[in-house]
Structure 1
Amino acid sequence: MANPAIITVDDDPAVSRAVARDVRRRYGDRYRIVRADSGPAAMEALREIKLRGEQVAVMLADYRMPQMNGIQFLESAMDLFPTARRVLLTAYADTDAAIDAINIVDVDHYLLKPWNPPEEKLYPVMDGLLDAWLSTPASAEGDVRVVGHRWSAPSYKVRDFLARNLVPYRWVLADEPEGERLLSAAGLGPDAVPVVITPDGRSLATPAVSDLAAHIGLSTTPASDFYDLVVVGAGPAGLGAAVYGASEGLRTVLIEQRATGGQAGQSSRIENYLGFPDGVSGAQLTERARRQALKFGAELITTCEAIGLEGGGSSSRVLRISDESVIAAHTVVLATGVSYRKLTAPGLAELTGRGVFYGSAATEAPNCAGSEVYIVGGANSAGQAAVYFSRYARRVHMLIRGADLRQSMSQYLVEQIEAIDAIEVHPCTEVISGEGEDHLERLVLADASTGEKRTVQTSWLFVFIGAEPRTDWLSGVVQRDERGFVLTGADLLADGRRPVGWTLPRDPYHLESSMPGVFAAGDVRATSVKRVASAVGEGAMAVSLVHRYLEAR
C-alpha cells in the first residue's frame, strides 16, 4: 500500500513550495507529500486518494484562499478523512480566524507564517500530529470493511461499536455484488454476517466486541496489575479524571465497556460547552480528551467490563473484570454514567437494532434520508438528535410526555427546534407499540390527555428517555439511593451519622463513596448536575480528593 499522504494547500506559489519543501525534507521517506494550489484542487486530490483506498495523515491549509478558504476546505475534507490531523496556516492578523477554526472544524493546530526555523516551529508540531494520527486505530493501514444485512441487529452493533470508537469503516451490504464477492473470498456464506474484514485482510465472522477491538488496534488488557488510580467509565467525568490523574503523576488506567465518550460522545452538537461558541460534536470532544489522556500516560482499556469491587485492605481496592481478571489500585473513581431507559411497549424489544435505537445512533442518519423519523424524549440529548436528523430526514417527529419542551430542554435548543420546519413536536404523546416483520414498520401512538390512538408508518425510532445508572454490580458494596445512584459526601451522613462500615475518623470527602478511597463523579453520582461541563469538573475534583486521600493514609 502507498505511503500515507500529507496534503499542503496554498494559493501563493512561493509559500506552497516552501511548506512542501520543508515537510518533504523531514517526512518524505515515510509519507507522500501532495501539494495543491486551491481548496477545490485539494478536494479533488483527496477524492482520488479515497478512491484508491489510501490514507491521509495531515492536512495543512492556508486561511486566505479564494473560492474556498482554509477553514472551508478543512471542514469539507473531514467528511473524506475524519481522522486526518488538520492545521491552518495563518498570518498574525488572522489569529481570530484560527481560533474560529478550532471551534468550528476542530482544527488541531494553527501555524503562523513564516515558520522559520522549521526545526523549532514546524517539525515539533508535525511530529506530535503524526504521532496522534498513528495512535488512532486503523489510521495507517486503511479502512475496516463491514459486510452485513441492512436490518440486522448484530450488524448494527458492530457498526455502532466501530463508529463510537472513531474507527473508520466501510459498510457493504451482503446481498450486493461487492458484499457477495467479499464473503466468497473469505469462504463464508450470507448467514455468517456480520463479517468484519480488517485492514490486514483477516475476516472475522460475527465477532465479539472484545475480539473486534483487539484486531483493530484497541487495547483490551492492562499493562500492570496495580495502579494509583483506576477510573471506571470513559465518559466526560472519566476522561476528566484520567487526564488530571495522569498529568499529576498518578499511575492511571481508564477502563471502558463500550467506547469513550459515553452518552456525550453520541451528541451530534454540544453548543453550551465552555470555550466552543460555535459548538463541538461529542465525538470531536471525546477524541481530543482521549488523546490528551494518552499524552499524559494514562492507559485506556476498551471492552473491559467491571463486575465487582472489593476492599483489598487499607491500602488497595480490587476491581473484578468480566474476563475473570482483576485490577488493583490505591483508589477508584466510578464514572460509569447512565444508560437510556428501555421503552416497554409491546414489539419494541424484538425490533431493537432493527429500526428501534437507544441514543442517537448517528451511523444510521444517512440511511434516514427522505424518511419520517420519530424521537422519544424532551431533554437536551433528544433535542440535539432532532436537529441532527433533520438534515437527513424528510420530517422529524419529537414525542414528549409533557406539554412543552421548555420543561426539560435548554432554551438555545428550543429556539433552534422552533426555527427548523422539518421538526414537529407532539406534546403529551407516548408510544403504545411497535410493529414490523424484519424491521420496524409502524408505531401506535396515544395522546396521554385524551387516550386517542393513531398508527404512523415509520422505520425509525430513536429513544432518549430516563437515566438508569449502571451500578447493579456495586450492590452491597457502596451505598446507593433508591434509583441506584451512588451516594457520596454529605449525602452519606444521615442524621449526622457516618456510613455503616466506615472506619476512618473523618467524614467522607465530597465525592467519596461509603467505601474509603472510592469516589464517584458525573451522572452516576446522586445529586450531580447532569451536564457535560459539570461531569468534567467532577472528574478533575475527584483527582484532587484522591491526592488528599493518599496523603492522609
Structure 2
Amino acid sequence: MEKKPILLAVDDDLQVLGAIDRDLRSEFRRDYRVLRASSGAEALATLRELKAREEPLALILADQRMPEMEGVELLEKARSIYPDAKRVLLTAYADTEAAIRAINNARLDHYLMKPWDPPQELLYPTLHDLLAAWQAQYRPRFQGLRLIGFQWSPLSHELKDFLAGYMAAYQWLDFEANPEAQILLSTTSFTSADLPVVVFEDGTALSRPARADVAAHMGLAATASQDLYDVVVVGAGPSGLASAVYGASEGLKTLIIERQSPGGQAGTSSRIENYLGFPTGLSGAELAHRAWSQAIRLGAELLAPQEVVSMCVQDGYKVLTLANGSEVRTRAVVLTMGVSYRTLEVPGIDHLTGAGVYYGAARTEARSCDQQDVYIVGGGNSAGQAAMYLASYARRVFILIRGESLAASMSAYLIEQISQTPNIEILPFTQVREVRGQDHLEEVVLESKGQVEARPARALFVFIGAKPSTEWICNLALCDAKGFLLTGRDLVADPRYATSWKHSREPYLLETCVPGIFAAGDSRAGAMARVASAVGEGSMAIKFVHQYLDE
C-alpha cells in the first residue's frame, strides 16, 4: 500500500521541535506521517533518503534561525529535491521582514509566527489550506511494474505489447520525454545505454529482459508440474482457452501452453461488439483475461510464455518438446495455435517494425499517436476495431484498402461506426509502396490508381490477412497447401488425403490425421474466423477428447 505523505518539522531548539512535533501529530497523524530533524543538514539528508525511497513529502516546516543553515536556505534547497512540497518558514516577530522577502524571492508558500498558541487558530487553519492545495495536485506513486525505455525502441514496444497482452498493470516511462524516468533509472544500477529497463514493485530491475524473465517475476509458470496430462492445449486464443475451461471443468488433467500472450489475434482487438452476452462489447484482452482466470480457477495449469517446438508419438502418448528443452507427456492434444498477421513486404519495413510500424498493437501504441496522423493497412474486422480505437487519440486515421469498399471484408456494424466517425477516412484502391524514416517512421509512400504520393505519418498499423502458426506440426499432422490443419471428414472425403488416416474408425470431426491430436480455431482448415466460432470449436474438441480417451 502507498505510504502516508510526510510532514517534516525542522528546528535546532529541541524543546520547540518537540512542541511542533506534538501539535502536528495531534492534528494530522490520521492522514500524514510526521518526521523531525534538528538541523538543516540532517533535514537535507532525510529528504534525499525519502526521495531515494520514492516517498511523498507534503510539507516541510523549518525554523528561520538555525546555526550553519538558516531556514530560508534549507527551504530553497528542499525545493530542488521536492519541488511540489509546500514550504513553510517558522519565524519570530523580528524576522518577519526576511520571511516576506523569502516568500517573494525563494517562493516560499507561507510563514508562521512563534509562538503559535493556540494551534487551533494560529497553526492548523494555515496548514490545512496548504495541504489541501498539495493534495489537489498530488498523484500517488504508481504501485507496480514500471518500464523505462525509448518510444521508438522495438524492444520497448515488444515489452509493452507483452505486458498489455497479460493485462499487467504497468507504467510506461519514455526516457526522453519523462523526467520521472530519469530519476527512477538513477535508483538502479543501469544507465540509458541499458534501456529498456523493467523495474518491479519490489525494486528489482532488469535490463533488456527476455519475456520469460518478466513472466517469472509476474508469477507465470514456465515448467510443467505433472509427469502426464490427459490433454495439453497448445495456444491460448479463444479456442484454446475454451478447451482449457471445459477440459478442466470436466475433470481432465489439463495443461495449456502459450508462446506469447493469451487471446491470440482476437486478444489484440480493441473492441469486440458482436460476441454473444456482451451487449456493450469488450476488448479482446479483457475477454482473454476473463477466460484465462476462469481456466485457472477450474484447475487448468498454464505455461507462458512458452513455445512448443516439436511433437512426436511414443506408445500412444504424445510427447511435446518445449523451447527450453523440457518435455511434456499427454494422452491427447488440442492444437489451437491460431494465426499471425502477414508481414508487409515493402522497402524500409524491417528497419521500422516496432518503431512506428506495428502488427496489431493498436491498444498498446494508441496514446503515443495523440493528435497525429496514422495509417491502417487492411479491411477486416481487426482493422476496423483498431481504427475506431485509434480515432479517440489520433488527429486523423486513414484506412488503406486495395478494393473499392469495406463491404466484402468487414462487419456491417463496424462499417457504420466508421462512417459516423469524422476523423476516419477510407482510401480505396490504395497500397503502401514504401515506408521511410531514420530511427522511426516519418513517411508512408502510397500508390493509388497509378499515382504515387509520400505522406507524413506517426504510425502504420498492419492487418493484412493471416497465416497459420503450424510450421512446427505440419511434419506430423497433415496440413493443406496454405498450412492449415486438415481434420475430420476432410481426411477421408478428399482422395488426395485418404491414405493419411490409418485408423479403423473414421476420424472425429476435429481430429487430425494422428489419432488423439485435435485442431480447433483459426489454424484449422475451413474454420470461421470469428471469436464465437473459435470458442465453440475449442469447447467441442473436449467432447472428442473424452471419446478418444474412452476407446
TM-score range, shorter chain: 0.7 to 0.9
1:520 aligns with 2:522: no
Residue of structure 2 in register with 1:364 after alignment: 365
Residue of structure 2 in register with 1:120 after alignment: none
Question: What is the Cα deviation at residue 182 of structure 1?
Answer: 2.3
Deviations 1:309-363 (A, max 9, x none): 111222x111111111111100000000000000000001110000000013312
- Residues 222, 361 of structure 1: alpha-carbon distance in 2 compared, 3 angstrom cutoff: farther
Deviations 1:151-201 (A, max 9, x none): 101111111111111111111122343222222221211110110011111
Partner letter of residue 202 of structure 2? Answer: D
Alignment of 1:34-433 (within 5 A): 142-175=143-176, 176-314=178-316, 316-433=317-434
- In the alignment, is the contact (CA less than 8 A) between 1:498 and 1:507 conserved in 2? no
- In the alignment, is the contact (CA less than 8 A) between 1:488 and 1:520 conserved in 2? yes
Question: What is the Cα deviation at residue 272 of structure 1?
Answer: 0.7
Partner letter of residue 511 of structure 1? Answer: L
Residue of structure 1 in register with 2:86 after alignment: none
Match of 1:485, SS state, is coil
- In the alignment, is the contact (CA less than 8 A) between 1:499 and 1:514 conserved in 2? no
Residue of structure 1 in register with 2:454 after alignment: 455
Question: What is the Cα deviation at residue 494 of structure 1?
Answer: 4.5
Deviations 1:251-287 (A, max 9, x none): 0011100111111111111111011122111122111
Question: What is the Cα deviation at residue 501 of structure 1?
Answer: 5.2
Match of 1:407, SS state, is coil
Distance across 2 between alignment mates of 1:504 and 1:293: 32
Which runs of 5 or more structure 2 residues have no equivalent in the other structure?
A: 5-29, 31-53, 57-141
Question: What is the Cα deviation at residue 498 of structure 1?
Answer: 6.5
Q: Which has the larger radius of gyration?
A: 2
Root-mean-square deviation (Å): 1.9
Partner letter of residue 400 of structure 2? Answer: L
- In the alignment, is the contact (CA less than 8 A) between 1:401 and 1:429 conserved in 2? yes
Residue of structure 1 in register with 2:547 after alignment: 548
- Residues 313, 538 of structure 1: alpha-carbon distance in 2 compared, 3 angstrom cutoff: same
Match of 1:199, SS state, is coil
Question: What is the Cα deviation at residue 52 of structure 1?
Answer: 8.1
- In the alignment, is the contact (CA less than 8 A) between 2:264 and 2:338 conserved in 1? yes
- In the alignment, is the contact (CA less than 8 A) between 2:3 and 2:55 conserved in 1? no
- In the alignment, is the contact (CA less than 8 A) between 2:270 and 2:362 conserved in 1? no
Distance across 2 between alignment mates of 1:481 and 1:430: 29
TM-score by length of 1: 0.73
Distance across 2 between alignment mates of 1:177 and 1:420: 36
- In the alignment, is the contact (CA less than 8 A) between 1:399 and 1:425 conserved in 2? yes
Distance across 2 between alignment mates of 1:164 and 1:52: 30
Match of 2:181, SS state, is helix
- In the alignment, is the contact (CA less than 8 A) between 1:160 and 1:361 conserved in 2? no
Residue of structure 2 in register with 1:101 after alignment: none
Residue of structure 2 in register with 1:491 after alignment: 490
1:538 aligns with 2:537: yes
Distance across 1 between alignment mates of 2:383 and 2:362: 12
Partner letter of residue 391 of structure 1? Answer: S
Partner letter of residue 486 of structure 1? Answer: L
Question: What is the Cα deviation at residue 300 of structure 1?
Answer: 1.3
Percent identity over the alignment is: 50
Distance across 1 between alignment mates of 2:402 and 2:514: 38
Deviations 1:109-140 (A, max 9, x none): xxxxxxxxxxxxxxxxxxxxxxxxxxxxxxxx
Partner letter of residue 208 of structure 1? Answer: A
- In the alignment, is the contact (CA less than 8 A) between 2:442 and 2:458 conserved in 1? yes
Which runs of 5 or more structure 1 residues have no equivalent in the other structure?
A: 5-31, 33-50, 54-140
- In the alignment, is the contact (CA less than 8 A) between 1:213 and 1:302 conserved in 2? yes
Question: What is the Cα deviation at residue 148 of structure 1?
Answer: 0.5
Match of 1:229, SS state, is strand
- In the alignment, is the contact (CA less than 8 A) between 1:220 and 1:304 conserved in 2? yes
- Residues 481, 501 of structure 1: alpha-carbon distance in 2 compared, 3 angstrom cutoff: closer
Distance across 2 between alignment mates of 1:259 and 1:318: 23
- Residues 439, 224 of structure 1: alpha-carbon distance in 2 compared, 3 angstrom cutoff: same
Question: What is the Cα deviation at residue 502 of structure 1?
Answer: 3.4
